[in-house]
Structure 1
Amino acid sequence: MKNAEPSWLRPAVDYGPLAAFFAVYLVGGLLPATAALMAATAVGLALSLAVTRRVPVMPLVTAGVVVVFGGLTLWLNDDTFIKMKPTIVQMLFACVLLGGLLFNRMLLKPLFHTVWSIDDDGWRRLTLRFGLFFVAMAVLNEIVWRTQSTDVWVSFKVFGILVLTFAFAMAQVPLLNRHRLPERDATG
């Protein structure tokens, strides 16, 4: 039986590792921050499993990439790998969403149908937009880490990606409103 998810769990799993990464980076640098990211990611997944008896797919995929690229960063003492991690995660999400569209699968619908009640054309457009957004974010991460200092990249990773994602999501409100399904009458 699936346990109900408390309201604090999703933010803890999604943002706890990022907060740990940033806090440790400020006091210890990128390599210790990478280790903290890996540890906090594992704790977040374990917490999710303990509380709900399941692990969400997106944090699980992200954790796999964190383990591989964080491990390479620490093992080889080369920050290139952790800086590439957001690119890989964003491109994985883009490939899944855009690949799903090739097979007429709107993969955002099963994830967000309880939040957004929109028609299939809306799901198709929203999926395309998010897929292209993830491609753009991957390209942007590559530009930032290859042309800027580590301090700038860390700020971009911690704050920039979050702000850009929020702004992009808010920009989708007109699409959501245009494709909203009529509310069903509760009386039948």
Structure 2
Amino acid sequence: MPEDTPITVQEKKLNPAVKTALEMGPILAFFAGYVLLKDRTFEIAGSEYSGFIVMTALFIPILALSTLALWRLTGKLSAMQIMTLVLVVVFGGLTIWLNDERFFKMKPTMIYVMFGGILGVGLLRSKSYLSLVLGEVMPLDAEGWRKMEFRMMLFFFGLAVANELIWRTMTTDTWVKFKTFGLPIAMLAFFMAQSGLMSRHSTEEKDGE
């Protein structure tokens, strides 16, 4: 094979139920473990750690294994999945190292600010970064992508603000429930609310013609 021939990994089809289980499994495992351990403390190497910190330590390898499984089964990972794993490792590691749960609670804020910022840069540069990630499942025309990216940018910034307000003003129990159930429900509600935009700007009919 010539040296300049690029090496590509063929994307594989994955059962949607398996994909959903791998994506949501780590989050649900964290929630279940937190419910079981939240009132306990653990002494490790002479230091006391709360159940939240222990579950954070367990969540990191669980998410890493789930992400690895997705890569092995599909042949690719999205930029969002890679950045999420990196930030979980960084902020989760700081949480464990400093024995301070605040760092892990900040993680969603950083993720959503980063995603919103990336979409904002794309809008300023007239480049559709979102279409690179969702183009296969949401075939839209150029105007549709601009509108969707602007709305999603505002949505991500709104989630970042909501996360900050909740973890800074409410209990850890409330934040864990918000992270486990509130954020996915908000994401689902957002995309359902965009059904009109997707219908008006869909290119599927044009492709069929």
Q: TM-score range by the shorter chain?
A: over 0.9
Q: Which deviates the most, 174-183 or 152-161?
A: 174-183
Residue 56 of structure 2 corresponds to which residue in structure 1? 34
CA distance in structure 2 between the partners assigned to 1:176 and 1:6 by the alignment: 24
* Structure 1 contact 14–59 (Cα < 8 Å) conserved: no
* TM-score computed with the length of structure 1 as normaliser: 0.92
Query: Are 2:197 and 1:181 aligned?
Result: no
Q: 2:162 aligns with which of 109, 134, 140?
A: 140
Residue 4 of structure 1 corresponds to which residue in structure 2? 12
Q: Secondary structure at the match of 1:4?
A: coil
Q: Which runs of 5+ in 2 are unaligned?
A: 1-8, 38-50
Q: Report the number of matched residues.
A: 187
Alignment RMSD (CA, Å): 1.7
* Structure 2 contact 78–133 (Cα < 8 Å) conserved: no
Q: Which runs of 5+ in 1 are unaligned?
A: none
Deviation of residue 131 (structure 1)? 0.8
Residue 45 of structure 2 corresponds to which residue in structure 1? none
CA distance in structure 1 between the partners assigned to 2:21 and 2:141 by the alignment: 31
- Within 5 Å, which residues of 2 pair with 1:65-80? 65-80=87-102
Residue deviations 1:52-91 (CA, integer Å, cap 9, x gap): 3333321110000000000010111100000000101111
Letter of the structure 2 residue corresponding to residue 126 of structure 1 = M
Letter of the structure 2 residue corresponding to residue 74 of structure 1 = I
Query: Are 2:22 and 1:22 aligned?
Result: no
* TM-score computed with the length of structure 2 as normaliser: 0.84
Max Rg structure: 2
Q: 1:85 aligns with which of 104, 107, 130?
A: 107
Give aligned-pair identity as a percent.
39
CA distance in structure 2 between the partners assigned to 1:62 and 1:185 by the alignment: 34
Deviation of residue 33 (structure 1)? 1.7
CA 1:182–1:44 in 2, change beyond 3 Å: closer, same or farther? closer
Residue 49 of structure 1 corresponds to which residue in structure 2? 71
CA 1:81–1:37 in 2, change beyond 3 Å: closer, same or farther? same
Q: Secondary structure at the match of 1:183?
A: helix
Residue 102 of structure 1 corresponds to which residue in structure 2? 124
Deviation of residue 10 (structure 1)? 2.8
* Structure 1 contact 9–48 (Cα < 8 Å) conserved: no
CA distance in structure 2 between the partners assigned to 1:155 and 1:27 by the alignment: 14
CA 1:163–1:180 in 2, change beyond 3 Å: closer, same or farther? same
Q: Which deviates the most, 28-37 or 136-145?
A: 28-37
Q: 1:156 aligns with which of 157, 162, 178?
A: 178
